[in-house]
A and B are shown apart, each in its own frame.
Chain A
């Protein structure tokens, strides 16, 4: 603990280390949005019920509102801002656009990061598994059928290079 009563932590977010001083009760979600200004991660409920705040922590999808920032110290965090690389959309991002899996977009970061965790662990997930594994992200626009199609299309390689082929 620092003299200020705050805790010194190192958050590794999207491949870059950030030294932060945070209170013990600050969540990873608050640290991302307020300390780092990474507002692509959304708060829909604050209780882990809606999945809008899902980020990847060491490759696993976690609700950032349920993780304390101090517990995320030293872990590898990926947010929606880190999904596109080298000026190219990630295949999932491209597929979400092409298949119409984004409407208002408030759940989209949680949805895409959940999908990434799923595909990384299970590159051949079928529609049934995708439906089940993404059920932790609520979408009131009802994009679920489009999301499943988008994730399947990434598996099939249609969007592997961010376009055709």
Chain B
């Protein structure tokens, strides 16, 4: 019986609902010490003196270390971040001193005794000020940092990374010069916190003789974290082992060695005793990583009948003080500002800027929560001003099967038009507006987006069919909470021919489970799904060869389905019984699979084009119904219809969870979230002040709509689903607000204050434009 397309209950579900899962914060080891961290109170200052003598004298203390003790720089793209600040601090909250003690309280009390004296330096918080000539430099000599080739250093400037792309400057210029209409808008998107419910935590132990580290961590990419930590410490990767724990959410926030870095730093100084680091919620909000704040200017040339001729975008991205994945967000993520549209002339400039603020990095959607907002509100304004129906305008310019993406890749499996139509239908697009209460206005809005996946990346997998008939899947695909283990079990059962009850999916452990690029970029289902398929085919081939010799039958006639081994000749045996006959005790059949899309015929064959291609593209449309309170500016989201082209739903319930969950997150980003800064200091560093959506704040109705499309390389048709939803919600709401009351919202979040200010600033509030008068 096929298990593909079935809503199989979470394979680790019982552990999950009985409180038995061990998260990073739950890790307990014999003789384990606890850490506390002294953090910078200054945004930019030279460290003049650090006095740790008082801390060292406190009871229970085993190690008090400063930047001098761990002169290491870490960063997957640009290694510019010290484990602990050395000569100067660059943001409020930067770790300066770390303490390990018998108890958390003792560690904290010792940390309170540390004295740090600073000499203030001029700081930069605003991206444009940071780029102005003569601005204080966050980093004096970026070129001294280890970095990947595509991140060029810009000494003497706060420019961290520059990414430019054009289809041809002349063509773009000509298109804008000759266009019937040109539109331009500038949007601001704030830094927000991933706010995974489990705070950052890690445990590290260092063997004092061998110098080998073992790290227990909730990380989304253990093999990559291992390389980053090894490079920072200047030791071989064979000296580090990362064991992944259960994980209380990620959303991109677990894509850097945030707690791991501090645990590793301390572990070297505790005589082989493990050290546990757990961030407080305040540290998570103010001193870890944020979504990249951005200022996006978008220009578009169109014909009066709504054909897009050119798109130019000039984007500033706030890196904060140190570099995580933001160069890639600004570059690859930034390209999605073009949207899912055929645009013949494109010019993009993306600048990532160092500032004296908490570092930024990957966030669910990898740039698309910023770019899709800008692109789609801008698109809406173009449609409205041209007098076109916004849905028709999108359909007219939107990608269809076989179109060429501007990266030069022919697009396969494009469910965009269907997603637009079905989301629109779900909110009653084109129908008369329902009557709402006095002082209220109703509006419908729509927004779509495109998201690729980092290409090419590698996933490997090993399967072991053991004597009792179970199939062990050794994979480094991380169960981040989205149901990865369940989907991997479905793939393994389907591909191997054992029942799903017989499948066991491992926890990642870099010393045991093979390489995987990580649980990022909506890639696990597609990439590890293919690796599992290959590994299971390999295992079956070995099984059938042995079966052929044991049972004296030709290998090609064998089959394994639902844990029953059969042969065309009529042989039928339960798998366990068959295995017993086939090998001595302990005999196993193994299979190995490595998948990479590199060289796939689906990828572009346009070598001169520097834009990234993608082995699959996800298309999403959200349509919103809102009610705006004209007296308070409060936006009530009545309904979000969320249509997702995800290829094929391997586990529909898991897909619905992802879609609904990211609509909740998307509307939370749209209406509530912003890290408020006062000269670089996060003011709202508690969950009381940094408000994320509760059950009361979420949209009153969410309709997830699954759209299926064909991608020939997708395992059982599945592309991915994790990221894009959070991006389309905000622009759909913004556009619905415009339809309701005629104001354009170019800054997130859409707080009552901001919406009310826009309503009051509107010169002629009665002349609203209905965004959906026809369909």
Chain A residues with a Cβ under 8 A of chain B: 33, 37-47, 49-50, 52, 79-81, 83-84, 89, 93, 96-98, 100, 102-109, 112, 130-132, 134-148
Contact = CB atoms under 8 A, between A and B. Distances in A.
A109 B693 CA distance: 19
Contacts of B688: 47, 49
Q: Which of B13, B17, B480: most chain A CB closer than 10 A? A: B17
B13 A97 contact: yes
Contact of B18 (A89, A104, A131, A144): A89
A83 B692 contact: no
Contact of A146 (B280, B480, B482, B657): B657
Q: Is the interface of B mostly helix, strand, loop or mixed?
A: loop
A138 B702 contact: no
Interface residues of B, number: 54
Q: Which of B22, B249, B688, B695: most chain A CB closer than 10 A? A: B695
B248 A105 contact: yes
Interface of B: 7, 9-10, 13-14, 16-23, 25-26, 28, 194-199, 246-249, 251, 280-281, 480-483, 653-654, 656-657, 660-665, 686-688, 692-698, 702
B664 A46 contact: no
9 contacts: A33-B26, A102-B17, A104-B198, A104-B249, A136-B694, A142-B662, A144-B698, A146-B657, A146-B660
Contacts of A145: 660, 664, 698, 702
B281 A142 contact: no
Nearest to B698: A144
B22 A104 contact: no
A52 to B, nearest CB: 6
B513 to A, nearest CB: 20
Contacts of A43: 25, 199
A144 B695 contact: yes
Contacts of B247: 104
B196 A100 contact: no
A36 to B, nearest CB: 12
Contacts of A102: 10, 13, 16-17
B727 to A, nearest CB: 14
A89 B14 contact: yes
A96 B692 CA distance: 22
A112 B17 contact: yes
B9 A97 contact: yes
Given A104-B198, A138-B687, A141-B661, 17 more contacts: A42-B23, A42-B25, A43-B25, A44-B281, A45-B281, A45-B686, A81-B20, A102-B17, A103-B657, A131-B696, A140-B196, A141-B657, A142-B662, A142-B663, A144-B694, A145-B660, A145-B698
A103 B18 CA distance: 13
A140 B195 contact: yes
A140 B246 CA distance: 16
Nearest to A49: B687
B181 to A, nearest CB: 39
